């Protein structure tokens, strides 16, 4: 009975569809621990609305709840989640590099259940047709490759980047900022992207130039990240620049993609030679006033097990957060371009070294919206970065 | 002099054209959604325009109704249990809210029309004015309230909220309906020996039935389409309706347009059936309501 | 003599009054508890600074409201919203009146046409958004495809690249859903115009256009007032369409999106609530203007 | 069956008093008509009796019991409404049986009562129809049936025939009258059609702006109208009123009108020289041949209307308008002056100032 | 002012023909009434003339010009509707001036025309009111004003007085008639009220189920109704029709009715023994004293109604119903048998089968 301390409890879990594990796995969990799961599934925007509404009303929406990396600052500041230190398996946390992102004020607020980081995905066939032997490693090489592909008439708009006023466009810009060898903020959160020689500025200029040159679809100003993925699946773009590591499995699925067999991974382009990337993981935490935190901790531990993570990879395509698990999968040959994936994974850092700040959502909305304006030609790159900086500073107050 | 036949013909042709445009505008998008739901995923993203799927597929519907389904390229649990449960929830909450709203509105509106009591008109005005309140404005205090009375994720809670949201419209509608009923009918019933409540139930309600049906349809449609309220107040499949379930088919790196359209088509079946079969009540009720 | 009346009548009067209260009690109870009380609570909170990321709940008086006036994002949202109101009200009114006129003319299969007309309004808004998102999709959307194949445009158009066209497109989607309401209200108004008036006007020498301007328009004015106020309230609460089609984009951000972002994304709760209350008041005031100015003055029965 | 006594009944709507203290009594089994022009308060009176309007002051009692504040449903009064107020969703039988059902009359007994009433009204073939499937006259009968089936103490009728066409109206008024005679139920009948009131009623109550002008049998109000209002209200075309002066002789009264002198019926206690209105009914005037005489009215013809059966001649006598109803065969020409006479006993004398009747 | 000629006019709604080929002519300045029971096609006729309904076949011409397919707005015809069809949002002056405005008559001129018409109709004080602030009679006048202000070639009236009360109706019918006389505009007047038709018109057109039954002056249709339909339609109460047989003597006709023989006016060419209907107008019957004679109708009295001026007696003569209008002073008692006579020249003889008039 001791190994089933929470026998008979019902644990409520709030996760998005891609965090919702199949029934046979959760049944196993119930069998092992005696905890029955009461799963709630909500879309991503909706989960946030739900958490905020209920936490402001001082009730936990569930005992184990989704936390996106971008919410850490806010939820941490609000004190809505319990520190997990001591509650869950520390070794497993250590094994997951992206777990650091969920540390707020020294406390581990949540444990990641997927390991999405950015990686370059390209269409092998397109490159081959254009006579390009290797994927680009620098921004310039990418532009060159794209021009060739466009000139050959293989794809009208070879580069896939979202430029709509949505979160996905903002994260792509962050990634390119890193590719251009810089960071968004310094240690004191002073904006680093406002001067023309800054990486952030160059990254935005790169996007606008590619757009103006017709390398990015003009439609991108209205496309979300998922729409860009559709274009890639459809063979209309050659590069999914801000590709999600998990997307490769969809691209390679002939049921859903016309380019199955042609999609391949490459290290992120970079001006410095270091293929920098960052992780955008999602995690599970325990709200501060959760009904049964013990059972929730048991659930989190279960999520961290290699078995569960492998199961989740197979059923949902979630890349395992734990390096050791990734390696196991790669060894078993179950990862497409696994070596590259693992190599890139090692370079995945948090977007904010200090931890995601509470004003991040305002900042990212400002990025997305102003980037979108710049892409539509309504403001210049300089104006865009200045406005972003201004709004970031305002949001920090 | 003019030629009446030519003119009539031109008029007819113009009328037909206008009708066609109206049909295209109203039904076109829904039709397109239907076509999408019958198109294989790979054809969806082809650049060509087809008014009818080149290859017809029921795979999206299979996903909804089938024993298993695909997610992210993997065989996962069927969405049918979720989908059917959500469909059931939608029906229960919508029907429940409809019944309650109609009953409350039937009595309330009658009092607003036929009884005089202090504060009657101002109360009615306030109730109707609440239609302008945005959902977000009251959501958080409402959530607190529902938590404190343990009505979160219960059919009762959701139904009560729907009632509070759609009651003003129903009251407004029923009030105009009652206003159009000659008062002498009630007077005849009083003289026949009926009390006020008895008169309302036995005489007025049957006469106001078309209006009640219109109010019921309106409430049902509104409840059926709700998104924000169940999103917050129906967290689990115990009460979660279709409208909240459907957007969940947007996965992180894959929008299943086909599946969403298929689910959408299923979700519009009850409203469409209502419109087709009870249209005349809806329209006459709305028109009666609009007259005031 | 008054005394007799006083002696004999208080009881039945009181009884009728009590019965009246009894009938409306359930309605008032529900509205009071689930709408008015939360509203009062929100208004109360809007004078404080409620921010879960900060400790305490300091009283700030009208600060939230004052800050809203100087917030450029909010101002942009207001200007977008007013454009939404303008566009949707115009589209809904023009199309609604046209559709109503058409339906008033059609005699054969009228009820089916009516069913088709009100269909969009009956669909769940979520489905509406899916359908239109798919239609407007810049790459595979049927709109681009159709226009391309008709030769109206030469390459796929990005509908949301210009502010006005984006606002307009979103307004169209919103109007698609809400127009049936206007049409039905106007149709009711049209049907209440005695047809003899048109016959009299014909004999007086009026043609079709004159009749519309001189007879129809003035006589549907009260219906129009109601339709306009409905359209306005709904346009002020514009959220779904703008959010799903264009996210947080400045060009299309409505006041309600701004409310959502302030309260639920940035967790500046009372700031967002203050804005939502302003939006509510604005829509009520504008509706009241229509109703008082147009409706009151144009009822002829 | 009952006796209704009304005393000093008043009705105010807000500040406006519309019934200014009416006294009247309706005897058991009597058929009384309330007649008056539109807005005079007929319906208001009836509705107060029914209990549908509150009484502002005064008293109403039915068989000696004060009913001012009895609820309508407990007064045992039946009313036939102008628009019939039939329950549109119920069949004819259900409409008629509704009150019995409410009174918990056993089903069988109720069915018999309904069948009997239907029989009486010739509605038996229509018992299963709903009102909208009936013609106007049939609806009217159903409304009647609903009233009689429960054998109430009082029938009230509010212009029950005004929605029917002329022919049907004549027929129905005879039917109603016959039915009431047969049942013997006390009835109050509101109408603005004087022919109805005169032909149907035992007594007529003439209302004017919320006041009773006269109560009497039809022949009383026709032959001895109490004042100018009644005189002109009853009779069609209306009685001619000619301005004149009363001249009193030793034992005879005369009227000086348009320079001529007319012998009058006895006008007791009226002073010589009083300004009067001489009332002459159009139908009592006859053309006389022969030379101009003292007792003929010389009228200049302005308009002649003939319907074949009757000819109406409109014209002037001095400053007063004058109307004459003549046989259809006679047709004076416009512009001509005709000489007319009316027998002395058919003349009416009213005080010019107060309008009150002066002759007995 | 114009002459209207209508020939073989037909109207079909879908498959149903409702006007079956009407021929009529309205002379310049003439006032013609269309009369008939409800649904007989009066309004349809009028609306075809106005151009509000299309013509199925036949022709209509105004002053010799075919107007079948002229747009209503170009016919220069004015119409007064039953419910007046006043523009509720316009003032009285604007209502009356609407057609002038549309015809682009200069503002000043229009104002003068409106003022003149208003003066004529006594509407000057109300020019700024909207219709809802007017009484029924005033509204009727505005509708008239709207018609006359533009001096059209033809006036059409569709039951313009049916929404007014009895008194006002009498007054307005005189006003309309006088106005028409004064303006001299050709007019067609639809009504179902025979008194209106008979008193106002130069000629009456009697319609029945879409066919013309008789066209003639009011006295012609009253005194020589062409058939049973006209005979019973014109006159109130309706003419009594008694079943009988025509007996033919050397130089005289008789009717055998209820076992008695009545001398008849000349019935040329009618065979002896023909089944007939003997028409007797109630107002031509008089009570005769003395013993039973061959030429008296013996009627048993069933109902007596008196309005003071007249007494209507209803009863039976053999198998036929019979109505008599007597002087108000006379009041037979129910159950009694009264003996009546009608002068031979007032008797009408109709063929029992076809209903056609037999006597000249
Ligand atoms: N609810 C009310 N409020 C105020 N005034 C009223 C109300 N009901 C009736 N009146 C007034 O009372 C007076 C009498 O009305 P009532 O209906 O009794 O007239 P009526 O004699 O029945 O007329 P009609 O022949 O037109 O039916 C009228 O002047 C009317 O305006
Ligand atoms: N639009 C129509 N469609 C079909 N039948 C019609 C239409 N209008 C009139 N009728 C029919 O034509 C006939 C004549 O109608 P019309 O209105 O001319 O009668 P009317 O003599 O004016 O009667 P009323 O005295 O009731 O006004 C009626 O039988 C009517 O049912
Ligand atoms: Mg009345
Ligand atoms: Mg007609």
Domain boundary, last residue among E232, E263, E286: E232
Question: What per-residue confidence (pLDDT) applies to C121?
Answer: 85
Shortest-distance Cα residue to atom 18 of ligand 2 = E41
* pLDDT computed for residue C298 by the predictor: 64
- Angstrom distances, CA of residue B255 to CA of B46, B251, C261: 15, 6, 24
Decide if pLDDT at E65 tops 50.
yes
What number of C-beta contacts closer than 8 Å exist between B and E?
Answer: 7
Lowest mean pLDDT among B185-199, B271-285, D261-275: B271-285
Count of residues making up chain E: 360
**What would the pLDDT profile of E173-226 be if each residue is shown by its tens digit?**
999 999 999 999 999 999 989 999 999 999 999 999 999 999 999 999 999 999
Q: How far apart are the first and last CA of chain B?
A: 43
Q: What is the pLDDT of residue B249?
A: 65
Return the residue of A nearest to B137 by Cα: A53
Among B189-198, B245-254, D90-99, D116-125, the minimum mean pLDDT is found in B245-254
Q: Tell me if C189 and B33 make a contact (CB, 8 A cut-off).
A: no
In tens digits, what is the pLDDT along chain D, a chain of 360 residues? Answer: 699 999 999 999 989 999 999 999 999 999 999 999 888 999 999 999 999 999 999 999 999 999 998 989 899 999 999 999 999 999 999 999 999 999 999 999 999 999 999 998 999 999 999 999 999 889 999 999 999 998 999 999 999 998 888 888 898 999 999 999 999 999 999 998 999 999 999 999 999 999 999 999 999 999 999 999 999 999 989 999 999 999 988 778 899 998 899 999 888 888 889 999 999 999 999 999 888 888 899 999 999 998 888 999 999 998 899 999 998 888 899 999 999 999 999 999 999 999 999 988
The predicted pLDDT at position C297 comes to 67
On the question of pLDDT at B125 being above 60, the answer is: yes
Q: Looking at the structure, tell me whether residues E252 and E274 fall in a common domain.
A: yes
pLDDT at residue C8, as a whole number: 43
- The Cα–Cα gap between B278 and B282 comes to 6
Q: What is the CATH number of the domain that holds D94?
A: 3.40.50.300
Reported ipTM: the value is 0.84
Q: Do D89 and B191 touch (CB under 8 A)?
A: no
In the prediction, which pLDDT does B45 show? Answer: 61
State whether E114 and E239 are in the same domain: no
Q: In this model, does residue B140 exceed pLDDT 70? A: yes
From ligand 3's centre to the CA of D38, what distance in Å? 7
Give me the pLDDT at residue A1, please: 43
Nearest chain A CA: its distance from C264 CA (Å): 6
Report which bound ligand comes closest to the CA of E12: 2
Q: Is residue D357 part of a domain?
A: no
For D57, the closest of C5, C11, C12 (CB atoms) is: C5
Chain E contact present for B117, CB below 8 A: no
pLDDT at A342: 87
Average pLDDT, chain E: 92
Q: Examine the domain organization and report whether E194 and E258 are in the same domain.
A: no
Structural domain range at position D207: 4-232
Classify residue D164: in a domain, yes or no.
yes
Q: At what angle do helices E136-148 and E166-183 cross, to 10 degrees?
A: 20
| Domain C49-294 coded CATH 1.10.3720.10 | yes
pLDDT at A397 over 80: no
Q: Pick E42 or C149 by higher pLDDT.
A: E42
What is the predicted pLDDT for the residue at E1? 62
Instruction: Assess whether pLDDT exceeds 80 at residue A255.
Output: no
Kindly list the distances between the CA atom of residue A276 and the CA atoms of A207, D82, E207, in Å, as whole numbers in the listed order.
18, 90, 100
**Does some domain include residue E188?**
yes
- Mean pLDDT score, C198-208: 92
**Same domain, residue pair E66 and E156:** yes
- What integer pLDDT is reported at residue D183 of this predicted model? 93
Describe the crossing of helices A167-179 and A199-212 by its angle, rounded to 10 degrees: 120
| Residues E249, E179 share a domain | no
Residue C6 pLDDT grade (very low, low, confident, very high; cuts 50, 70, 90)? very low
Contact E163, E128 (CB under 8 A): no
Q: Which two tokens stand for residue C56?
A: 């305490």
**pLDDT for the residue numbered A273:** 87
A164-190 tens-digit pLDDT: 888 889 999 999 999 999 899 998 899
User: Using the beta-carbon criterion (under 8 Å), do D198 and E166 form an inter-chain contact?
Assistant: no
Nearest CA residue ID for atom 30, ligand 1: D39
Decide if pLDDT at B95 tops 70.
yes
Q: What is residue E72's DSSP assignment?
A: G
- Distance of CA D206 from the midpoint of ligand 1 (Å): 16
SS (HEC) of chain D: CCCEEEEEEEEEECCEEEEEEEEEEECCCCEEEEECCCCCCHHHHHHHHHCCCCCCEEEEEECCEECCCCCHHHCCEEEECCCCCCCCCCCHHHHHHHHHHHCCCCHHHHHHHHHHHHHHHCCHHHCCCCHHHCCHHHHHHHHHHHHHCCCCCEEEEECCCCCCCHHHHHHHHHHHHHHHHHHCCEEEEEECCHHHHHHHCCEEEEEECCEEEEEECHHHHHHCCCEHHHHHHCCCCCCEEEEEEEEECCCCEEEEECCEEEEECCCCCCCCCCEEEEEECHHHCEECCCCCCCCCEEEEEEEEEECCCEEEEEEEECCEEEEEEEECCCCCCCCCEEEEECCHHHCEEEECCCCEECCC
D186-191, strands of its sheet edge to edge: D77-80, D154-158, D186-191, D31-35, D203-208, D211-216
Residue E77 three-state SS: strand
Report the share of chain E in percent with pLDDT over 70. 100
What pLDDT is attached to residue C139?
67
Query: Could you say which architecture CATH assigns to the domain B80-283?
Result: Orthogonal Bundle (1.10)
Q: Which residues of D touch E306 (CB under 8 A)?
A: 198-199, 218-219
Q: Which two tokens stand for residue C193?
A: 């115009």
**Stretch B148-173: mean pLDDT:** 91
The beta strands (E) that lie in chain A are given as: 10-15, 36-41, 64-68, 103-104, 107-108, 110-112, 118-123, 159-160, 239-244, 263-266, 277-278, 282-285, 348-349
Mean pLDDT of all residues in B100-120: 92
Q: Is the pLDDT of residue A42 over 80?
A: no
Name every chain A residue with its beta carbon within 8 A of the beta carbon of C261. 361-362, 365
Q: Pick the ligand that lies closest to the CA of residue D41.
A: 1
* Residue E168, CA atoms < 13 Å, CB-side half-sphere: 15
Same domain, D205 and D258: no
Question: Are D56 and C13 within 8 A, CB to CB?
Answer: no
Task: Name chain B's partners: 3 or more CB pairs within 8 A.
Answer: A, C, D, E
If you average pLDDT over residues A70-89, what whole number do you get?
90
Count CB neighbours of B116 within 10 A: 11
**Residue B1's pLDDT band (cuts 50, 70, 90):** very low
Q: What is the pLDDT of residue C96?
A: 94
pLDDT given for residue B227 in this prediction: 81
Residue D209 CA to ligand 1 center (angstroms) comes to 10
Contact E210, E13 (CB under 8 A): no
Average pLDDT across chain A, whole number: 88
Q: Examine residue E192 and state whether it is found in any structural domain, yes or no.
A: yes
Indicate if the pLDDT at residue A337 is higher than 90. Answer: no
Residue D356, in any domain of the structure: no
Q: Are residues D198 and D298 in the same domain?
A: no
**Number of other CB atoms surrounding residue B120 within 10 Å:** 17
Question: Residues B22-41: pLDDT tens digits?
Answer: 999 888 888 888 888 888 76
Taking residue E244's Cβ as centre, other Cβ atoms within 10 Å add up to 25
Cβ-based burial of A294 (10 A; exposed 0-12, middle 13-18, buried ≥19): middle
Cβ pair B127:C102 closer than 8 A: no
Q: How remote is the C-alpha of D253 from its chain's centroid?
A: 32
Report yes or no: E283 and E311 within 8 Å, Cβ to Cβ: no
* CATH number, domain with residue E263: 2.40.50.140
Quick one: average pLDDT of A153-168? 89
Residues of C in contact with B132 (CB under 8 A): 233, 236, 280, 283-284, 287
Query: Are E99 and E188 part of one and the same domain?
Result: yes
Whole-number Å distance, alpha carbon D42 to ligand 1 midpoint, is 8
Burial classification of residue B201, based on how many CB atoms lie within 10 Å of its CB (0-12 exposed, 13-18 middle, 19 or more buried): middle
- Collapsing DSSP to helix, strand or coil, A265 comes out as strand
Determine the average pLDDT of the residues in C78-93: 95
Q: Are B237 and B86 in contact (CB under 8 A)?
A: yes
Q: How many domains does chain E have?
A: 2
Chains D and A touch (3+ CB pairs under 8 A): no
Q: Are strands D275-280 and D260-264 parallel, antiparallel or unpaired?
A: unpaired
Confidence of residue B218 (pLDDT cuts 50, 70, 90): confident
Residue A41: which of B263, C130, B82, C127 has the closest Cα?
Answer: B82
**For chain B, where do the domains classified as CATH 1.10.3720.10 start and end?**
80-283
In D, which residues are within 8 Å of B188 by CB distance?
A: 79, 81, 85-87, 146
Q: Which residue has the higher pLDDT, D9 or C61?
A: D9
Tell if the CB–CB gap between B221 and C122 is shorter than 8 Å.
yes
CA distance C202 to E51: 9
Report CA(D158)–ligand 3 centroid distance (Å): 7
- Confidence at C4, pLDDT banded by 50, 70, 90: very low
Taking a C-beta distance cutoff of 8 angstroms, is the pair D210, D20 a contact?
yes
Is the pLDDT confidence value at C42 over 50? Answer: yes
Burial of residue C291, with CB atoms counted within 10 A of its CB: 0-12 exposed, 13-18 middle, 19 or more buried: middle
Pick from D206, D232, D258: which residue ends a domain?
D232
Instruction: Kindly state whether residues E178 and E271 are assigned to the same domain.
Output: no
d(CA C98, CA C198): 18
Are E99 and C197 inside 8 Å of each other by CB? no
Contacts of A378 (CB under 8 A, 6+ apart): C163
| Res E225: pLDDT | 96
CB A149 within 8 A of CB A156: no
Q: Which atom of ligand 2 is nearest to the CA of E210?
A: 14
CB E33 within 8 A of CB E215: no
Q: Which ligand has an atom closest to residue D17 CA? A: 1
pTM for the full model? 0.86
Q: Which of D44, D62, D73, D96 to mutate to test the interface with B (most CBs of B within 10 A)?
A: D73
State yes or no: pLDDT of E85 exceeds 80.
Answer: yes
Residue where a domain stops, chosen among E232, E266, E290? E232
Contact of B118 with chain D, judged by CB distance below 8 Å, is answered with: no
Across chain B, mean pLDDT equals: 82
For A27, A37, B149, D337, E338, the CA distances from A21, given in Å and listed in that order, are 10, 11, 32, 113, 107
Q: Which of D226, A111, C200, B172 is nearest to E51 (CA)?
A: C200
Clarify whether residues E204 and E239 are in a common domain.
no
Say if residue E224 is in the same domain as residue E249. Answer: no
- If asked whether residues D26 and D103 sit together in one domain, one would say yes
| E360 is a domain residue | no
């Amino acid at each position: 009975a001791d190994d089933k301390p929470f026998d008979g409890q019902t644990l409520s879990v709030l996760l998005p569809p891609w965090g919702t594990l199949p029934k046979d796995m959760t049944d196993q969990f119930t069998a092992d621990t005696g905890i029955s799961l009461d799963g709630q599934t909500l879309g991503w925007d909706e989960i946030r609305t739900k958490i905020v509404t209920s936490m402001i009303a001082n009730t936990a929406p569930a005992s184990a709840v989704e936390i996106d990396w971008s919410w850490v600052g806010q939820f941490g500041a609000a004190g809505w989640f319990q520190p997990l230190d001591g509650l869950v398996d520390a070794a497993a946390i250590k094994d997951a590099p992206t777990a650091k992102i969920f540390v707020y004020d020294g406390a581990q607020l949540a444990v990641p259940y997927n390991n999405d980081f950015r990686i370059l995905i390209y269409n092998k066939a397109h490159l081959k047709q254009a006579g390009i032997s290797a994927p680009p490693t620098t921004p310039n090489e990418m532009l060159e490759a794209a021009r060739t592909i466009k000139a050959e008439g293989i794809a009208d708009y070879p580069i896939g980047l979202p430029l709509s006023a949505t979160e996905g466009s903002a994260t792509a810009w962050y990634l390119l900022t890193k590719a251009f060898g810089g960071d968004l903020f310094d240690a004191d959160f002073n904006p680093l992207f406002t001067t023309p020689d800054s990486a952030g500025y160059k990254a935005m200029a790169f996007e606008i130039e590619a757009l103006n040159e017709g390398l990015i679809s003009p439609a991108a100003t209205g496309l979300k990240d998922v729409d860009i993925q559709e274009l890639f699946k459809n063979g209309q773009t050659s590069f999914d620049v801000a590709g999600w590591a998990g997307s490769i499995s969809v691209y390679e699925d002939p049921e859903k993609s016309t380019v199955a067999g042609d999609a391949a991974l490459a290290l992120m382009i970079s001006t410095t030679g270091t293929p920098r990337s960052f992780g955008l993981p999602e995690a599970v935490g325990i709200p501060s006033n959760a009904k049964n935190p013990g059972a929730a901790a048991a659930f989190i531990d279960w999520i961290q097990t290699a078995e569960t993570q492998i199961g989740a990879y197979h059923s949902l395509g979630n890349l395992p957060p734990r390096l050791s698990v990734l390696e196991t999968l790669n060894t078993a040959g179950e990862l497409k371009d696994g070596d590259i994936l693992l190599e890139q994974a090692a370079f995945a850092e948090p977007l904010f070294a200090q931890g995601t700040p509470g004003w991040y959502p305002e900042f990212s909305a400002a990025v997305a919206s102003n980037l979108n304006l710049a892409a539509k030609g309504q403001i210049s790159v300089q104006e865009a970065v200045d406005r972003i900086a201004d709004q970031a500073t305002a949001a920090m107050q | 002099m003019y030629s009446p036949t030519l003119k009539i013909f031109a008029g007819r042709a113009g009328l037909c054209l206008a009708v066609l445009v109206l049909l295209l505008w109203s039904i076109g998008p829904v039709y397109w959604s239907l076509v999408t739901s019958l198109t294989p995923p790979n054809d969806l993203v082809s650049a060509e325009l087809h008014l009818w799927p080149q290859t017809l597929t029921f795979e999206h519907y299979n996903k909804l109704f089938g024993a298993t389904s695909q997610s992210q390229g993997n065989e996962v649990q069927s969405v049918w249990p979720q989908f059917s449960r959500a469909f059931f929830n939608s029906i229960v909450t919508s029907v429940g809210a409809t019944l309650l709203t109609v009953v409350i509105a039937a009595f309330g509106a009658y009092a607003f029309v036929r009884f005089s009591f202090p504060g009657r008109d101002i109360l009615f005005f306030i109730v109707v004015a609440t239609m302008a309140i945005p959902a977000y404005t009251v959501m958080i205090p409402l959530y607190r309230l529902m938590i404190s009375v343990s009505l979160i994720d219960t059919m009762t809670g959701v139904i009560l909220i729907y009632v509070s949201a759609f009651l003003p419209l129903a009251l407004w509608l029923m009030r105009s309906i009652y206003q159009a009923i000659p008062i002498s009918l009630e007077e005849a019933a009083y003289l026949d020996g009926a009390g006020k409540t008895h008169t309302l139930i036995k005489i007025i309600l049957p006469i106001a039935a078309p209006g009640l049906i219109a109010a019921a349809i309106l409430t049902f449609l509104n409840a059926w389409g709700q998104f924000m309220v169940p999103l917050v107040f129906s967290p689990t499949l115990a009460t979660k309706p279709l409208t909240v379930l459907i957007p969940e088919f947007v996965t992180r790196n894959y929008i299943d347009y086909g599946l969403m359209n298929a689910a959408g088509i299923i979700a519009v079946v009850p409203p469409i059936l209502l419109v087709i079969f009870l249209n005349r009540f809806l329209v006459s009720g709305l028109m009666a309501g609009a007259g005031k | 003599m008054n005394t007799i009346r006083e002696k004999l009548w208080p009881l039945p009067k009181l009884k009728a009054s009590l019965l009246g209260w009894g009938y409306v009690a359930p309605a008032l109870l529900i509205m009071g508890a689930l709408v008015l009380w939360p509203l009062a609570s929100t208004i109360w909170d809007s004078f404080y600074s409620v921010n879960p990321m900060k400790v305490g709940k300091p009283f700030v008086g009208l600060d939230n409201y004052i800050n809203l006036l100087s917030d450029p994002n909010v101002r942009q949202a207001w200007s977008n919203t007013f454009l939404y109101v303008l566009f949707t009200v115009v589209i809904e009114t023009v199309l609604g009146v046209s559709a109503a006129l058409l339906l008033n003319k059609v005699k054969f299969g009228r009820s089916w046409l009516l069913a088709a007309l009100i269909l969009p309004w009956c669909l769940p808004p979520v489905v509406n958004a899916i359908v239109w998102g798919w239609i407007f999709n810049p790459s595979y959307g049927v709109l681009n495809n159709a226009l391309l194949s008709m030769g109206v445009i030469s390459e796929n158009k990005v509908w949301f690249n210009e502010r006005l066209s984006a606002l307009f497109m979103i307004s169209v989607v919103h109007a698609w859903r809400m127009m049936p309401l206007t049409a039905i209200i106007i149709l009711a108004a049209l049907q209440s115009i005695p047809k003899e008036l048109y016959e009299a006007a014909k004999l007086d020498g009026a043609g079709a256009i004159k009749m519309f301007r001189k007879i129809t328009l003035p006589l549907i004015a009260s219906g129009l007032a109601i339709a306009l106020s409905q359209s306005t309230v709904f346009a002020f609460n514009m959220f779904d369409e703008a959010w799903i089609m264009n996210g947080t984009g400045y060009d299309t951000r409505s006041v309600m999106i701004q409310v959502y972002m302030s309260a639920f994304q940035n967790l500046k709760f009372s700031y967002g609530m203050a804005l939502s209350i302003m939006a509510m008041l604005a829509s009520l005031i504008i509706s009241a203007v229509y109703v008082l100015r147009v409706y009151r003055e144009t009822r002829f029965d | 069956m009952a006796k209704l006594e009304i005393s000093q009944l008043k009705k105010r709507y807000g500040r406006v008093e519309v019934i200014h203290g009416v006294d009247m009594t309706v005897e058991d089994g009597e058929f009384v008509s309330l007649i008056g022009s539109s807005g005079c308060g007929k319906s208001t009176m009836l509705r107060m009796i029914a209990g549908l309007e509150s009484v502002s002051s005064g008293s109403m009692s039915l068989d000696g019991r004060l009913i001012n504040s009895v609820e309508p449903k407990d007064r045992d009064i039946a009313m036939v409404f102008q628009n019939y107020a039939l329950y549109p969703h119920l069949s004819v039988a259900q409409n008629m049986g509704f009150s019995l059902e409410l009174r918990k009359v056993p089903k069988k007994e109720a069915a018999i009562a309904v069948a009997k009433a239907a029989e009486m009204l010739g509605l038996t073939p229509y018992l299963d129809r709903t009102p909208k499937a009936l013609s106007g006259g049939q609806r009217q009968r159903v409304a009647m049936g609903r009233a009689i089936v429960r054998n109430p103490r009082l029938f009230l009728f509010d212009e029950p025939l005004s929605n029917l066409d002329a022919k049907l109206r004549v027929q129905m008024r005879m039917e109603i009258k016959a039915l009431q005679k047969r049942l013997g139920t006390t009835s109050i009948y509101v109408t603005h059609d004087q022919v109805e009131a005169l032909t149907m009623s035992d007594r007529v109550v003439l209302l004017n702006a919320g006041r009773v002008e006269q109560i009497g049998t039809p022949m009383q109000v026709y032959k001895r109208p109490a004042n100018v209002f009644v005189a002109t209200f009853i009779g069609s075309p209306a009685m001619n009123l000619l301005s004149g002066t009363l001249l009193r002789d030793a034992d005879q009264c005369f009227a000086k009108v348009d320079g001529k002198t007319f012998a009058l019926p006895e006008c007791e206690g009226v002073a010589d020289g009083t300004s009067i209105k001489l009332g002459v009914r159009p139908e009592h005037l006859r053309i006389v041949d022969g030379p101009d005489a003292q007792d003929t009215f010389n009228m200049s013809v302005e308009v002649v209307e003939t319907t074949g059966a009757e000819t109406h001649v409109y014209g002037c006598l001095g400053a007063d308008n004058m109307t004459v109803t003549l046989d259809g065969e006679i047709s004076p020409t416009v512009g001509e002056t005709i000489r007319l006479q009316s027998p002395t006993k058919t003349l009416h004398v009213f005080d010019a100032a107060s309008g009150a009747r002066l002759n007995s």
